[in-house]
């Protein structure tokens, strides 16, 4: 399954699990079949008490750490997962699954609809964060794990962490939501809507029926460009690009003469090679619809939670500002939930949950050690 190297996890392979009988969705529909792509790192101990579920953000996937054969780029959280790292694979059995609705191995709009023999497109049902978590619960059952030591993730991954703690309180010992919210603000919904409209306005979108033809790459690229602006901060953009020009000649019309323009276009162009436009629509809508309290008091919803919480936010994150993390912590305290709040000084903006390794690692390592000490995580 994996080859360990001195410098990290090494080469890994993505695995696949199919839910027997399919999945009943929150909207009352049934999705069948349902396949989840997932990867694991480290070893599950005999007591099956050292499992940590890592949950990805909007455009992430199951490949969280290590390398795929023939590829030079490691998984999206490789700086946090591995021997001696925050999620230490010498101690913990780390699991990461791609969400349903995605396009990186899990069932989503680009999957084949068994009723038609063609890709679902917009016939794919709307899915929610709760549906994503419900599918993951089947995977955890399949792996023979009764209780997770921890669930952890940033951004949309943090929303899944919150939903895990609420939906399955008896199965989660610790929760680490990072740079996230219990529900989206109007501004957060607005940014996602701009991205969705960029895709829908692309003439190649064809009402979602572009499979087998030319995909809406320009619309998806623009959506990604908008996203990247929100992931960074004013400070990080200034430090990375300033107002440097790509060409000293003045008075270009609408070419990417500033470095920041070239960066955004490059990010957009690279993104369309690995992500499906319909998945972007479905997943952003799931994020926007997410409301952990469902219109009720957040503290009441958290009343039955048994997990200890480590909530992490970043001072320069203006996409998921720290007040939203503080709201979660206040609700935890009111509900009697053990919650620790840490706000990290970082100039990276929302991307800090992927890049701010040193401080995050110290916080996560200490927290997991404390949680594990209460239950013999290393018992064999």
| Integer Cα distance of 55 and 61 in angstroms | 9
Q: Considering 56, 63, 184, 350, which one is annotated as catalytic?
A: 350
74 three-class SS: coil
Cα gap 241→252, rounded to integer Å: 19
317: annotated active-site residue? yes
Which pairing describes strands 118-119 and 87-88: parallel, antiparallel, or unpaired? unpaired
Q: Distance between CA 162 and CA 179 in Å, rounded? A: 12
**Which distant-in-sequence residues (6+ apart) come within 8 Å of 56 by Cβ?**
62, 64, 76, 96, 98, 99, 153, 156, 157
Residue 184 to residues 1, 116, 131, 156, 172, Cα–Cα distance (Å): 38, 35, 18, 10, 24
For residue 33, is the peptide bond before it cis, meaning its omega torsion is within 30 degrees of 0?
yes
Kindly name the residue from 317, 346, 347, 351 that is annotated as catalytic: 317
What is the length of the chain? Answer: 380
106 is catalytic: no
Q: One of 49, 106, 111, 155 is an active-site residue; which one?
A: 155
Active site residue 155: yes
CA dihedral 103, 107, 110, 115 (to 10 degrees): 180
Q: Which residues of 111-149 are buried (b: 16+ CB within 10 A; e: fewer)?
A: beeeeeeebbbeebbebbbbbbbbbbbbbbeebebeebb
Its sign, for the CA torsion 42, 48, 50, 51, is: positive
Within 8 A by CB and 6+ apart from 343, the residues are 312, 313, 314, 315, 322, 325
Residues carrying an active site annotation:
155, 317, 350
């Amino acid at each position: 399954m994996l080859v360990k190297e001195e410098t990290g996890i090494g080469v890994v392979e993505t695995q696949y699990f199919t839910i027997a009988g399919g999945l009943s969705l929150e909207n009352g529909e049934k999705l069948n079949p349902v396949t989840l792509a997932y990867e694991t790192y480290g070893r599950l101990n005999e007591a099956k008490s050292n499992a940590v579920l890592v949950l990805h953000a909007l455009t992430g996937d199951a490949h969280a750490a290590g390398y795929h054969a023939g590829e030079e780029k490691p998984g999206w959280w490789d700086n946090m997962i591995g021997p001696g790292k925050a999620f230490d694979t010498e101690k913990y059995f780390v699991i990461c699954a791609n969400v349903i609705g995605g396009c990186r191995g899990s069932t989503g709009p680009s999957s084949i609809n068994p009723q038609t023999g063609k890709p679902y497109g917009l016939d794919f049902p709307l899915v929610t964060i709760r549906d994503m978590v419900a599918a993951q619960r089947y995977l955890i059952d399949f792996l023979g794990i009764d209780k997770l030591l921890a669930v952890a993730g940033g951004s949309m991954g943090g929303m899944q962490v919150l939903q895990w703690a609420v939906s399955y309180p008896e199965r989660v010992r610790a929760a680490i939501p990072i740079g996230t919210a219990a529900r989206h603000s109007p501004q957060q919904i607005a940014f996602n809507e701009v991205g969705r409209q960029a895709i829908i306005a692309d003439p190649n979108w064809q009402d979602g029926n572009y499979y087998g033809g030319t995909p809406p790459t320009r619309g998806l690229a623009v959506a990604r460009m908008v996203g990247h602006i929100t992931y960074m901060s004013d400070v990080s953009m200034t430090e990375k690009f300033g107002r440097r020009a790509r060409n000293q000649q003045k008075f270009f019309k609408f070419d990417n003469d500033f470095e920041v323009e070239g960066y955004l276009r490059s990010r957009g162009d690279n993104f369309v090679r690995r992500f499906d436009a319909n998945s972007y629509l479905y997943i952003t809508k799931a994020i926007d619809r997410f409301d952990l309290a469902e219109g009720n008091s957040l503290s009441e919803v958290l009343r039955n939670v048994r997990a200890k919480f480590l909530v992490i936010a970043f001072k320069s994150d203006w996409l998921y500002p720290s007040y939203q993390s503080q709201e979660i912590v206040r609700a935890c305290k009111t509900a009697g939930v053990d919650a620790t709040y840490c706000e990290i000084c970082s100039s990276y903006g929302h991307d800090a949950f992927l890049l701010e390794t040193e401080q995050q690692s110290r916080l996560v390592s200490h927290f997991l050690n404390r949680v594990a000490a209460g239950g013999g995580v290393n018992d064999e």
